[in-house]
Amino acid sequence: MPITLKPLVPEEAVGFFRQKGYAVTFDHRDMAAAEHQAAFTVAKAMQMDLLEEIWTQVDDALANGGTLAQFIDQLKPNLVKRGWWGVQQMTDPKTGEARDVQLGSPRRLKTILDTNLRTAHGEGQWQRVQESKDALPYVMYDHTPSKYERKEHAAWDGLVLPVDDPWVAAHWPIKAWGCKCRMIPVTARMAERQGKTVGTAPAEQTYTYTNKRTGETMDVPVGVDPEFNYPPGGRRQSLTDNLASRIERLPADLRPAAVQAVGREAFDAWAAKPAGAWPVGVVSEQLAKALGGRSNLVRLAPAAEGEAPPLAAADLAPLAQALERASVGADDLVRVVIEQHGQPVEFEIPKPDAGAPLVLRRAAKPAKRSRPR
């Protein structure tokens, strides 16, 4: 029988892409640079179901492969049918200006697919490099010529640096539209076989960029486009921060249901490899004001390295109920107690810095009960 070989699914890349939420935007600059790690957006795709349809086809291309022509053939008929094709007049919701804008086209679909695939693969590669850096402690910059050539990228070709060098994170591909560069994990000996040695990072030069849509001003390294000026590895951190921020933007009476709607599977995935603080419930608005927190949303701090997760998914519902009944003790700590495996376990919320989120942590040791004030 003939043997059929299928390409391996790039699990880390697919995982990065699938953790993204959706963001409806008129202009790609309507989102801050780092928000692109946490949300999938297509400028001027102003309907959520349209955005989801494009997302589905990008996800399929990432997980199952395929050509650009297949991607366009699958998407174009529905986009044309829905009126999202060619040049159309739209009103900019930010300025109120009506103007002709480019919606769907083969060129736009190529940019959408190429950018999302390359950023996903780049994030997946970063995760693998971090997991293997004990064995492969260096990376070598590999410049690949493209239609949109950057002289800085070409100058970095063959540069070998430690994985943990800050320059590596600042320039981890992709960092520009159309960029095809990559960084390859190596040992010092592997680099030497290619005539390279471990070097030092180039002196960083920056330019100031102001996003005219958001007003955000930033210093951007030369060789990096502003839209890509964020560090890699933000996949899981972005997920928790984005999730919490979305819940905080809801009316207060909808936040408890939103926390419960996140689901156990998502919490279990976070608890297994935590990054950031996970939203687990709300306290009363009065209590949040007394503590000086950003909002009444409460986030669970991850366990310290080597420690077991402080909660299981089964604990979320009783914890949420306990938080809603919580009050401040005489020592300015909020303490809640839930039962785990038949034993009472205490958690506490210390008073945060002004405007910071409320963070729940497991109490270091049982505390004396104080009368609520």
Residue 373 within any structural domain of the chain: no
* Res 100: pLDDT: 87
Q: Which of 223, 249, 264 is the C-terminal boundary of a domain?
A: 223
The model's confidence at residue 216, banded by pLDDT at 50, 70 and 90, is confident
Tell me the mean pLDDT in the region 285-312.
86
Residue 258 within any structural domain of the chain: yes
Greater confidence (346 vs 99) lies with 346
What letter represents residue 94's amino acid?
Answer: K
Q: Tens digits of per-residue pLDDT, 62-86?
A: 778 888 899 899 889 988 888 888 8
Angle between helices 106-132 and 11-18 (to 10 degrees): 120
* Res 160: pLDDT: 98
Same domain, 325 and 215: no
Tell whether pTM > 0.75: no
* Res 354: pLDDT: 79
* Res 81: pLDDT: 87
Same domain, 79 and 26: yes
Same domain, 20 and 108: yes
Residue 293 within any structural domain of the chain: yes
Same domain, 215 and 266: no
Q: Tens digits of per-residue pLDDT, 189-199?
A: 999 999 999 99
* 88: pLDDT strictly greater than 50: yes
Same domain, 148 and 46: no
* 299: pLDDT strictly greater than 70: yes
The model's confidence at residue 145, banded by pLDDT at 50, 70 and 90, is confident
* Res 134: pLDDT: 95
Same domain, 123 and 19: yes
Pairing of strands 98-102, 343-349: unpaired
* 1: pLDDT strictly greater than 70: no
- Residue pair 158/184 in contact (Cβ under 8 Å)? The answer is no
From the CA atom positions of the chain, what is the Rg in Å? Answer: 24
Same domain, 66 and 137: no
The model's confidence at residue 337, banded by pLDDT at 50, 70 and 90, is very high
Same domain, 213 and 273: no
Same domain, 239 and 357: yes
Same domain, 126 and 148: no
Q: Which of 223, 243, 274 is the C-terminal boundary of a domain?
A: 223
Same domain, 323 and 254: yes
Length of the chain: 373
The domain tally of the chain equals: 3
* Res 269: pLDDT: 78
Same domain, 247 and 217: no
Residue 1 within any structural domain of the chain: no
Q: The domain containing residue 115 runs over which residues?
A: 8-87+100-131
Side-chain-facing half-sphere of 173: CA atoms under 13 Å = 25
Q: Tens digits of per-residue pLDDT, 111-128?
A: 888 888 888 888 888 988
